[in-house]
Structure 1
Amino acid sequence: MINGVVVTPLKQIFLDKGSVFHGIKSTDDTFYGFGEAYFSQANYLSIKGWKKHTKMNMNLVVPIGAIKFVIFDDREFSPTNGLFFEIELSDKNYCRLTIPAGLWLAFQGTGKDINLLMNFADILHDPSESQVKELADISYDWSNI
């Protein structure tokens, strides 16, 4: 596990007329405030990343499909510096992935149909507070799907 990253199992309530998928509550330990919530789609085997937010803390949930997340820690004084953490979230592994600012993130759609994530961010989107790298800039093997 990467220092500061939290994986929180979430409740799914299956009902005849439609299910309920919990996301986040203001009383949760990983609720850092609300800036915005947005959805992002990841096509099958497509990879988005690498991106590092310098201020934004993310809370990611995948209610539809499956998405593999890879986090890389290059924080100089972190006890997990140089390490990767990977996890696949889906309706079958329904959890919230909390990623603090300062970590690199990339993700890949692993479900063959629609793969949808929701980010419950603590600040509004600001393109000036994030950094991006090409996939080849951080050495990770994406072929193990």
Structure 2
Amino acid sequence: MSSEKIIDNEKGNIRHIVKASSTAFTTFGEAYFTEINFNERKGWKKHLKMTLNLITCYGEVLFYFVHPQSGEIFKIMISSKNNIRLTVRPGIWFCFEGVGISSNLVLNIASIAHDPSESENRPLDFYFGEQE
């Protein structure tokens, strides 16, 4: 997790997201947006090769991560207000939920181009089950 610089500007602020010299940045493969509606979840997904750099462009998104050894679920909220970049390395199960009442938009700056054979998916109840 990294907080990126915000430059105040009277016509609209400038938000730094990632630089080639940024901590945890590896290589560039592709960038894409994913929308997540209020109270909806997407995931569980684990990438085998891709490193993700996730930024919430607008709205609020709650990310869930599964600790690889203990299986414990960790949560972190990122929003357009806190300008945090989450770096997710290969091998980590995660999902995310739209908590902003309007639409929520996440940008992923990925280390490799999309390849469906390099990721695994599980249904949402695989980790949540009866916990909710």
Q: Percent of aligned pairs with the same residue?
A: 39
* TM-fit CA distance, 1:141: 7.1
Deviation at 1:12, TM superposition (A): 1.8
1:97 to 48, 68, 86: 86
* Structure 1 residues without counterparts, runs of 5 or longer: 1-6, 75-79
1:18-77 C-alpha deviation (Å, 9 max, x unpaired): 221111000012111000010111101110010110110101011211100001133xxx
CA RMSD of aligned residues (A): 1.6
Contact 1:21 1:63 in 2 (8 A): no
Which residue of structure 1 aligns with residue 96 of structure 2?
107
Q: CA deviation at 1:142?
A: 7.8
After superposition, where does 1:98-137 map in structure 2 within 5 Å? 98-137=87-126
Q: TM-score of the superposition, structure 2-length normalised?
A: 0.92
Cα distance in 2 for residues equivalent to 1:64 and 1:91: 5
Question: Aligned partners of 1:63 and 1:141: how far apart in 2?
Answer: 32
The normalised TM-score by structure 1 is: 0.84
Instruction: Give 1:38-53 correspondences, 5 Å limit.
Output: 38-53=32-47
Tell me which moved more, 105-114 or 8-17.
8-17
Report how many residues are paired. 132
Partners of 1:110 and 1:142 in 2: CA distance: 19
Q: State the secondary structure of the residue aligned to 1:136.
A: helix
Distance in 1, matches of 2:97 and 2:24, equals: 24
SS at match of 2:55: strand
In structure 2, what is the Cα distance between the partners aligned to 1:109 and 1:92?
Answer: 15
SS at 1:108's partner residue? strand
Following superposition, the deviation at residue 140 of structure 1 comes to 6.1
**Structure 2 residues not aligned, in runs of 5+:** none
